[in-house]
């Protein structure tokens, strides 16, 4: 008996048996939910959960015969035994405590102790000796799973909301939910109130009422499919629709009951129209997910790393996070946290910024001013020194430009029948604070302070200097008046100097930051418009000598990094670190799944999407017709010091022959070209997996990915800008899913 017929049969005879129906429904979901349990990436059975990627790391050590890893080998063998015990426990008795999880935590601490004292050099040939980075990766992989297992065991022991409420749903229920959603939207629209006055977020946006209405209307449209997955009692409602509506109901109820709402907002929501809608949503809300399934999706993503696996895992996390059961929500939120660390990190040294600042400058210019209502003219010499200072902060990226100004003036003041000649010297210190945020560089008004001010009357000339007695008396009067007003004159002069210094520093700094902010804004718009990605600042901080900026670039149904980045090596002035989740997101947004076209058409799509016209340059095999696989068509991994590109192809037509269902793996490693520039160069031969005609395909893909074509790792701006003439890229590290590239001095400069 087929599964769908069998379940329909049971559903018609056991509606009153709630417990039995829960069991049947879970079995039914194995065949009907979009993220099917019974089918893996390649259509193979994956009912049993097992952490294969972690197992491979452990087993490689246990199979090594090197004397240096003897103790490590014994620990890994014990971990493998407990690992199997945990898997069996999770498969058969997940609702009971698992002592093996605690034992694995103890063994992880033993591994951590071995790692701290690990000084053995990694080997390339057999017997295998792991590197320190490999041990770090294994430690983090084990710790991630221990955390998830504990959260899952807690969820499995929770009291779960029943799903039987969904079985009797019909289109009448869908229509009633739509009518009540429309009534709520009208109530919100008429009130014209917002959830957040600063952002202007409306209640309709917050509760997504328009999206609710659109989806409910789509549910009522006829579906042109010969066979549809149906619910038990109402063949007109597909199970995936029930799943979607139930998950959305869970999410909306959580927003209506959010603890962050104010008392005033709760009073506003306590309206008969909203309460009626909420009661209807309660009838749709149910726990429709099996927590154990997240382990299978997690392992699939860890093994493959592609966008298809990322979407499946992220979507399931969303379902868990919207659950009615608190333990389920905690599990979903915890897994999201484990795979939600920053995937772009930028380290910038204080030394680099100060080296790029212009050297101390001296400027001489004429000036004209009015001091105490007296016209004053002269010349001034301004000597300026600047320094970038990092302002340590645990969560913000804060810097300041400290400016020292030494101002010397030679001036002449004209009064009635008198000219006064003065010299003055003023020392000013100023600070302009700058913060890097998601909106770009934000600045504070410049703060300035006079730390020294001296003036000296250099001479007096009057129209009565040639008149005996009168001239002397007049000069004495002028000196007395000058002495009485000198304090007021100095105060006004200092005020004007401070005002001019602040304005000049504010103007010059903001003029320099304006094009940078405009460029950052364009990049953010491009990421949003072309790829649907948002940029969020994550765990950034400022140290005394380093600025550490961490960012999460994410979109809908995406994940971020799950491992710590490589260390920044000594000698680096800056360090850029990118996790493999970012390029896989960008590739996933190309939507190549199952797409058919020529090589040239795909190259043109890449060139347009990434604004790189050079990618579409004509080549020999541009006419070859390709159909990408519907699952993870293109995947990038950063592993073992290599950039690994895997292309999965469903069909490729070449020389009148069609080659089906194979993978091409191209690896690149850091190297140097003939001019000493850092590049990514193809490493060895192409790997063809599942291909029959190896020679023909290897020849074709060898021309698409020629060994002679390397990927530059030195930006053009670095080579063309004279500010960076002594710097280049180096210290390329590819490990734990990250690629890191530092800015260093050129070797010839260091020598």
The pLDDT score that the predictor gives to residue 383 is 92
> What does the pLDDT look like over 259-282, one tens digit per residue?
888 999 999 999 999 999 999 998
Is residue 17 predicted with pLDDT exceeding 60? no
Question: For residue 330, how many other CB atoms are within 10 A of its CB?
Answer: 17
Angle between helix axes 70-92 and 52-62 (nearest 10 degrees) is 150
Q: Which of 45-54, 532-541, 571-580 tops mean pLDDT?
A: 571-580
DSSP for 121-148, please give it: PPPSSSSP---HHHHHHHHHHHHHHHHH
Q: Please list, residue by residue across 107-130, b when 16 or more beta carbons sit within 10 angstroms of its beta carbon and e when fewer do.
A: bbeebeeebeebeeeeeeeeebbb
Using left for φ > 0, alpha for ψ between -120 and 50, and beta otherwise, residue 677 falls in beta
Tokens, residue 592: 């190549």
The residues facing 428 across adjacent strands are 405, 450
Handedness of CA 164, 168, 169, 172 (dihedral sign): negative
Res. 26: pLDDT tops 60 = no
In CATH terms, the fold of domain 561-750 is: Bactericidal permeability-increasing protein; domain 1 (3.15.10)
Q: What is the pLDDT of residue 309?
A: 94
Higher-confidence residue: 439 or 390?
390
pLDDT digits (tens, 9 = 90+) for 331-343: 999 999 999 999 9
Instruction: Tell me which H or E stretch contains 680.
Output: strand 678-682
Per-residue pLDDT band for 577 (boundaries 50, 70, 90) equals very high
Distance CA 289, CA 308 (A): 19
| pLDDT score for 21 | 30
- Averaged pLDDT, 45-49: 53
- Residue 597: which of 552, 553, 633, 546 has the closest Cα? 633
What is the structure's pLDDT at 236? 58
Q: What is the pLDDT of residue 40?
A: 33
Q: In Å, how far are 108, 140, 613, 664, 692 from 144, measured between CA atoms?
A: 11, 6, 41, 30, 39
Mean pLDDT across the chain:
84
* Coil, helix or strand at residue 613: helix
Exposed (0-12), middle (13-18) or buried (19+): which is 315, by Cβ within 10 Å? middle
Lowest mean pLDDT of 217-231, 316-330, 624-638, name the range.
217-231
Residue given tokens 């001091």 in the structure block: 371
> At 148, is the pLDDT very low, low, confident or very high (cuts 50, 70, 90)?
very high
* pLDDT band at residue 520 using 50, 70 and 90 as cut-offs: confident
Q: How far apart are CA 657 and CA 342, in angstroms?
A: 45
Average of per-residue pLDDT across 569-574? 93
Residues 391-401, mean pLDDT to the nearest whole number: 94
Res. 594: pLDDT tops 80: yes
pLDDT for 35 beyond 50: no
pLDDT value at position 114? Answer: 92
Q: Say what the pLDDT of residue 282 is.
A: 86
Q: Give kind and range of the element (H or E) at residue 451.
A: strand 447-462
> What pLDDT shows up at residue 124?
67
Contacts of 599 (CB under 8 A, 6+ apart): 619, 621, 622, 623, 624, 626, 704
Q: Which residue has the higher pLDDT, 639 or 41?
A: 639
- Over range 723-734, report the average pLDDT: 90
Q: Which two tokens stand for residue 717?
A: 């701006």
pLDDT tens across 659-692, in order?
A: 999 999 999 999 998 888 899 999 988 999 998 8
Helices 239-256 and 18-32 sit at what angle, rounded to 10 degrees? 110
pLDDT of residue 14: 35
What percentage of residues in the chain have a pLDDT greater than 90?
Answer: 43
Q: For residue 715, what pLDDT band results from cuts at 50, 70 and 90? A: confident
The pLDDT > 70 percentage for the chain reads: 88
Task: Report pLDDT for 471.
Answer: 65
248-257, 390-399, 569-578: least confidently modelled range: 248-257
Spatial distance between the Cα atoms of 429 and 446, rounded to a whole number of angstroms: 10
Kindly state the average pLDDT of the residues 479-492.
80
Per-domain residue ranges for the chain? 1-32, 33-161+292-338, 164-284, 360-523, 561-750
Identify the sign of the CA torsion 311, 316, 319, 321.
Answer: negative
Indicate the range of 6-15, 42-51, 238-247, 248-257 predicted with least confidence. Answer: 6-15
- Across the range 122-131, mean pLDDT stands at 80
What is the per-residue pLDDT for 464?
A: 67
Q: Which residues contact 112 (CB under 8 A, 6 or more apart)?
A: 139
Query: What are the phi and psi torsion angles at 315 (to 5°)?
Result: -65, -40
Q: How far apart are alpha carbons 239 and 166 in whole angstroms?
A: 9
pLDDT at position 470 is 61
Chain CA centroid to CA 154, Å: 29
- First vs last Cα of the chain: how many Å apart? 78
Q: Are 399 and 390 in contact (CB under 8 A)?
A: yes
Cβ–Cβ contacts within 10 Å for residue 702, how many? Answer: 15
Choice among 46-50, 64-68, 508-512, 745-749 with the minimum mean pLDDT:
46-50
């Amino acid at each position: 008996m087929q599964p769908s017929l069998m379940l329909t049969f049971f559903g018609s005879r056991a509606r009153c048996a709630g417990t039995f129906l829960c069991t049947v429904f879970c079995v039914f979901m194995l065949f009907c939910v979009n993220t099917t349990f019974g089918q893996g990436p390649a259509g193979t059975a994956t009912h049993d959960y097992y952490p294969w990627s972690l197992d491979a790391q452990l087993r490689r050590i246990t199979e090594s015969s090197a004397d240096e890893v003897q103790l490590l080998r014994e620990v890994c063998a014990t971990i493998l035994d407990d690992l199997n015990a945990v898997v069996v426990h999770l498969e058969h008795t997940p609702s009971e405590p698992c002592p093996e999880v605690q034992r694995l935590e103890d063994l992880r601490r033993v591994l951590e102790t071995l790692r701290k004292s690990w000084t053995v050099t990694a080997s390339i040939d057999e017997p295998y000796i792991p590197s320190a980075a490999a041990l770090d990766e294994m430690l983090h992989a084990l710790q991630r799973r221990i955390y998830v297992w504990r959260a899952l065991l807690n969820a499995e022991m929770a009291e779960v909301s029943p799903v039987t409420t969904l079985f009797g749903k019909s289109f009448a229920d869908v229509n009633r939910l739509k009518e009540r959603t429309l009534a709520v939207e009208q109530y919100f629209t008429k009130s014209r109130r917002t959830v957040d006055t600063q952002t202007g977020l409306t209640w309709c946006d917050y509760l997504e009422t328009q999206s609710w209405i659109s989806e409910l209307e789509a549910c009522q449209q006829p579906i042109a499919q010969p066979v549809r997955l149906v619910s038990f009692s109402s063949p007109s409602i597909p199970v995936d629709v029930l799943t979607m509506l139930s998950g959305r109901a869970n999410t909306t109820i959580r927003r209506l009951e959010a603890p962050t709402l104010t008392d005033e907002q709760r009073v506003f929501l306590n309206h008969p129209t909203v309460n009626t809608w909420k009661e209807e949503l309660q009838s749709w809300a149910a726990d429709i997910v099996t927590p154990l399934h997240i382990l299978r999706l997690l392992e699939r993503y860890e093994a493959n790393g592609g966008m298809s696996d990322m979407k499946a895992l992220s979507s399931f996390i969303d379902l868990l996070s919207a659950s009615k059961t608190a333990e389920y929500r905690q599990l979903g939120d915890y897994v999201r946290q484990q795979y939600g660390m920053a995937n772009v990190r930028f380290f910038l040294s204080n030394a680099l910024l100060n080296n790029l600042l212009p050297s101390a400058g001296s400027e001489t210019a004429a000036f004209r001013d009015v001091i105490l209502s007296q016209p004053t003219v002269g010349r001034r010499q301004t000597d300026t020194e600047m320094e970038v200072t990092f302002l340590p902060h645990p969560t913000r990226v804060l810097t300041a430009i400290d400016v020292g100004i030494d101002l010397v003036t030679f001036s002449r003041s004209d009064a009635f029948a008198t000219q006064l000649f003065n010299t003055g010297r003023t020392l000013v210190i100023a600070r302009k604070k700058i913060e890097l945020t998601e909106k770009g560089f934000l600045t504070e008004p410049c703060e300035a302070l006079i730390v020294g001010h001296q003036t000296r009357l250099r001479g007096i000339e009057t129209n009565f200097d040639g008149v005996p007695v009168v001239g002397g008396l007049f000069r004495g009067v002028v000196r007395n008046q000058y002495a009485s007003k000198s304090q007021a004159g100095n105060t006004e002069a200092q005020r004007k100097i401070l005002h001019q210094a602040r304005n000049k520093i504010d103007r010059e700094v903001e003029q320099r930051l304006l094009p940078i902010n405009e460029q950052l804004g364009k990049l953010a718009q491009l990421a949003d418009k072309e790829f649907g990605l948002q940029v969020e600042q994550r765990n950034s901080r400022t140290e005394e000598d380093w600025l550490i900026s961490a960012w999460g670039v994410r979109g809908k149904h995406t994940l971020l990094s799950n491992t710590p980045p490589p260390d920044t090596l000594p000698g680096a002035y800056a360090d850029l670190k990118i996790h493999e989740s970012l390029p896989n997101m960008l590739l996933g947004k190309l939507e190549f799944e199952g797409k058919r076209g020529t090589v040239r058409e795909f190259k043109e799509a890449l060139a347009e999407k990434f604004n790189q016209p050079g990618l579409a340059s004509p080549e020999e095999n541009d006419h070859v017709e390709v159909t990408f696989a519907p699952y993870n068509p293109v995947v990038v991994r950063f592993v073992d010091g290599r950039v690994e590109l895997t292309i999965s192809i469903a069909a490729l037509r070449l020389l009148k022959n069609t080659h089906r269902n194979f993978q091409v793996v191209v690896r690149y490693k850091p190297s140097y070209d003939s001019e000493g520039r850092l590049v990514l160069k193809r490493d060895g031969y192409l790997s063809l997996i599942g291909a029959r005609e190896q020679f023909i395909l290897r020849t074709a893909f060898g021309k698409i990915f020629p060994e002679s074509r390397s990927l530059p790792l030195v930006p053009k701006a670095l080579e063309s800008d004279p500010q960076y003439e002594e710097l280049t890229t180096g210290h390329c590290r590819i490990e734990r899913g990250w690629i890191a590239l530092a800015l260093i001095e050129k070797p010839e400069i260091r020598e």
